[in-house]
Amino acid sequence: MSREDNNRYLRSVANNQLRKLPILGRLGSHPFLKLLLLWGVLLALYAGFYVFFSNPSPMSGDGAGSIPAPRLQWEMGKQLLTYAALFFALMGASLGWRQFQAQKARRKEAEALQQPGPEAHLRLTDELLPPTSPFPDVDLLRAQRRALARVLYGQDALARHELNAVNWRGKAPLLQAMERGTDALLHMLCKDDPEQALTLAREALSLADLHPAVPGAKQGRVFYDVLVHSAEILAGQVTPEGMRTLEHHHEVSSLIVIRLVSAWSLRAASTQVKDAERAERMRQFLQTHAPHCAPLHRLPTAEA
């Protein structure tokens, strides 16, 4: 049921956001189809006007000033190619701008984690997701980000307070997964309770189920996947697949939190199997990227 509920929720969010736009909100139900439909109508109107005003008028006699048909088709084709090129250029610029903004946000998050406390990370949340943001369920997104920052700095009671300040009941499974996942991380980093962390992480992974065709479906589950394999390591359930998964996400993920949690778990696993070289490499990574996040700089009690 989680997948169907999540897909329904995402469709609802997309439609609600697009309805706020003056034109696209009155077109089809799929964002990409809306864009294609809008441009198709505009190009059709342009072609119609071009042909109408370029052809000789029936009242113009012999049509001495008319444009020959082959030339008309060539001129029209060039104009259509120009508009198509402009369309793809605008789309590329839009995607490039979004990518730039995402990289800027990730850079600011990395800088915030260099500070001695979570305040910089909390201010970043206010910048990226202000309380007045019209984005759906912004209060839940803010609570999850604020709680995550406090967990990384060992403020478990305040993290729990952030999560309890909003109502997660009755929300889409995808949203409930955020609360479960943050609580799982809290039990790993702050409470040395890998069994409860594993239970919560598995629940979060199940709740975050999405249809593979949904853009970002796989990436959206990476955080919960990392939590599950990390909790398995701490619970003494190390598997080669889990280790490979953590190593992969630590190397390729663009999200610093995923890399930090993976590094912490890999350090714990390396200590278990007495792989001093990798354990030291992970320790240095944590020291470099999160020097003041105390929970990330200690091994779980069972491994200390």
Query: pLDDT by residue for the chain (304 residues), tens digit each?
Result: 588 888 787 777 766 655 555 444 444 445 555 555 656 656 665 565 555 555 554 544 455 555 555 555 566 566 666 766 776 676 677 667 667 777 888 899 999 999 999 999 999 999 999 999 888 899 999 999 999 999 999 999 999 999 999 999 999 999 999 999 999 999 999 999 999 999 999 999 999 988 777 766 777 889 999 999 999 999 988 888 999 999 999 999 989 999 999 999 999 999 988 999 999 999 999 999 999 999 999 988 654 3
What pLDDT score does 238 carry?
84
The CA angle 274-197-149, to the nearest 5 degrees, is 95
Q: Cβ contacts of residue 196 below 8 Å, gap of 6+?
A: 184, 187
What pLDDT score does 256 carry?
94
Are the beta carbons of 185 and 151 closer than 8 angstroms?
A: yes
What pLDDT score does 60 carry?
47
Structure tokens at 25: 């909100």
What pLDDT score does 303 carry?
44
Q: Cβ contacts of residue 175 below 8 Å, gap of 6+?
A: 9, 137, 140, 168
Write out pLDDT tens, residues 158-195. Answer: 999 999 999 999 999 999 999 999 999 999 999 999 99
